[in-house]
Amino acid sequence: MRIFLQQPPLAGENPKFVKLSLEQDLFGGWFLDREAGLMGGRSTRKREVFTEAGLAIAAFESARDQQLKRGFRVMFAEGAEAPRQ
Residue 56's identity, in one-letter code, is A
Cβ contacts of residue 54 below 8 Å, gap of 6+?
none
d(CA 43, CA 55): 26
pLDDT in tens, 25-60: 998 899 999 999 998 889 999 999 999 999 999 999
- On the question of pLDDT at 81 being above 80, the answer is no
d(CA 7, CA 53): 29
Lowest mean pLDDT among 7-11, 69-73, 79-83: 79-83
pTM of the model: 0.84
CATH class of 2-78: mainly beta
Residue ranges of the domains in the chain?
A: 2-78
Per-residue pLDDT at 71: 93
